[in-house]
């Protein structure tokens, strides 16, 4: 069985993330979306909320599971016996950052392979940070996230304006 992880903060999960998951789920026996509990950025959603939104978004994919993790992604990969780590690339800046991380991860776990998928053109601009800003300012997000995520964003951002 070939297992891959797709680590990230997923705050929140977007249609760009889901596109990567759908495309890569056919390449591996099992794909585990690893929701990082404490990234170095301000989070809007709790770990529980982020895991639940991701689970609902990929429920239609039987070989995809979602679980929280803490610590290094390479250690998470070891714990779940993954052979590969999946990353999505949007723009050249992503490549530079992912390249640096890949070199460090290779040093920490030489057996873990990196698989990068290029974002589809309609998602090349999309980031969770940008999405949250647009939602906070009342912009249209319905075609960028699953319906349940759009509702959660509106509820959370509406509450933060009060």
Is residue 148 flagged as an active site residue?
Answer: no
| The model's pTM | 0.92
| DSSP designation for 141 | -
User: Closest Cα to residue 132, out of 18, 10, 6, 19?
Assistant: 10
Task: Identify whether 60 is a catalytic site residue.
Answer: no
Domain CATH for 66: 3.40.50.620
* Residue 157 belongs to a domain: no
Query: Would you give the end-to-end CA distance of the chain in angstroms?
Result: 50
Number of domains in the chain: 1
Given the residues 23, 30, 90, 136, select the one marked as catalytic: 90
**Residue 8: inside a domain, yes or no?**
yes
Contact 2/31 with Cβ under 8 angstroms? no
Within a domain: 27: yes
Question: pLDDT truncated to tens, each residue of the chain (162 aa)?
Answer: 899 999 999 999 999 999 999 999 999 999 999 999 987 778 999 999 999 999 999 999 999 999 999 999 999 999 999 999 999 998 777 788 888 989 999 999 999 999 999 999 999 989 998 999 999 898 999 999 999 999 999 888 764 543
- Residue ranges making up the domain that contains 34: 3-124
């Amino acid at each position: 069985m070939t297992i891959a992880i797709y680590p990230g903060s997923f705050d929140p999960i977007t249609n760009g993330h889901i596109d990567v998951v759908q495309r890569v789920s056919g390449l591996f026996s099992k794909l585990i979306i690893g929701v990082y509990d404490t990234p170095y950025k301000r989070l809007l959603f709790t770990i529980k909320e982020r895991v639940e939104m991701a689970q609902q978004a990929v429920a239609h994919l039987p070989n995809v599971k979602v679980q929280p993790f803490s610590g290094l992604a390479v250690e998470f990969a070891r714990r779940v016996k993954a052979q590969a780590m999946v990353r999505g690339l949007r723009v050249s800046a992503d490549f530079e950052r992912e390249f640096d991380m890949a070199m460090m991860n290779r040093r920490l776990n030489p057996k873990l392979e990196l698989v990068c998928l290029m974002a589809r053109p309609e998602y090349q601009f999309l980031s969770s940070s940008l999405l949250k800003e647009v939602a906070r300012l009342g912009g249209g997000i319905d075609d960028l996230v699953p319906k349940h995520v759009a509702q959660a964003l509106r509820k959370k951002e509406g509450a933060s304006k009060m």
